[in-house]
Amino acid sequence: MTDQTINAPSLTEYSSLGSYLQSFSDITQIDALFYSLTGVLVHNNNVYSDDKIIQSELDVNKIVKYTIFPIILDSKLLGFVLCNCDNVSQQRVKLSKEYLNNIFTQVFDEEGSGKQVVLDALSNEQFGQINYLSILLKLSFRYSNVVEEQVDKQVTASSEASKSLKKAIDYILKNINKSFSLNDLADKVYLSPSYLSRLFKKDLHITFIDYVNHLKVAKAKEKLALTNQPVSSIALSVGFSQTSYFTKTFKKMAKNYAIKISRSI
């Protein structure tokens, strides 16, 4: 048995898993799907690898409320089972963990792929931290790519632009708890607002306001998950003077976030 076999289950295994998950859904009335870290989705007795189809199947409008079970195969993270909790309680879904564990035992023991384990469902706090880390890494990765590309090209003008963009990002990260505009930031890095705006769109493929709001919302998610602070306090702590605008921005940026921002303001 090789690592390649463990890391990349066969089409036969995925197809078998799809059949078992469909039976699980029919019996429990809990819609369940499996997403692997190799980019394969198993849902409704089908196996998908096309990104567009997977995005459609994972439409947040279809899965409004869900419970996530991490799946381990031979001591490695294989992927996640997502169970739609829109019409059933999360407690009922969590009680189905043993059923899911038996499914993965049947599928992968039959194929001799290795030992499998269905871990406890992720809590809201754990999911919030993963989502927060994902956003930060995604933004950091985009920025790192920009710097590397500019160094490789060895273009003076681009290099200067990257330095300016780095200064802008450093300022944003250090002042994420404050309210500031594009004009304010442009003054800090000695660029015109229009040029700085173009840098964000060209190099990071995101607008200035969306970049800032992604970071603010990520920080807010952390506070929502780990503290009992009211929404109004959290809004102020990430630079929103108006709770209503914070709520509107939060809902726009985090449509499928598990924690509802309905606590006292």
Whether residue 110 sits in one domain with residue 170: no
Torsion of CA 166, 135, 201, 55, to 10 degrees: 160
DSSP letter, residue 228:
-
Cα torsion 204, 205, 210, 216: sign: negative
What would the DSSP string read from start to end of 217-247? Answer: HHHHHHHHHH----HHHHHHHTT-S-HHHHH
Whether residue 164 sits in one domain with residue 93: no
Q: CA gyration radius for the chain?
A: 22
108, two tokens: 């992968």
Whether residue 202 sits in one domain with residue 106: no
User: Structurally, how many domains does the chain consist of?
Assistant: 2
Q: pLDDT at residue 154 above 50?
A: no
- Tens digits of residue pLDDT in 14-47: 999 999 999 888 888 888 999 998 889 999 889 9
Whether residue 103 sits in one domain with residue 24: yes
Domain boundary among 122, 152, 171: 122
Distance of CA 15 to the CA centre of its chain: 26
Taking residues 53-78, what's their average pLDDT?
77
Nearest alpha carbon to residue 188 among 207, 177, 202, 174: 174
Whether residue 164 sits in one domain with residue 84: no
Contact 60, 73 (CB under 8 A): no
**Residue 211 within a domain:** yes
Whether residue 232 sits in one domain with residue 136: yes
Whether residue 155 sits in one domain with residue 116: no
Whether residue 234 sits in one domain with residue 207: yes
Identify the CATH number of the domain in which residue 82 sits: 3.30.450
Domain boundary among 69, 90, 122: 122
pTM, two decimals, is: 0.49
Q: Work out the percent of the chain whose per-residue pLDDT is above 90.
A: 13
Domain hosting 200: range is 126-253
- Tens digits of residue pLDDT in 183-207: 999 999 899 999 999 988 887 778 8
Cβ neighbours of residue 187 closer than 8 Å, sequence gap 6 or more: none
How does strand 46-48 pair with strand 41-43? antiparallel
Range with the poorest average pLDDT among 69-73, 122-126, 174-178: 122-126
Whether residue 228 sits in one domain with residue 114: no
**Residue 16 within a domain:** yes
* CA–CA distance, 54 with 70 (Å, rounded to integer): 18
Domain boundary among 122, 137, 167: 122
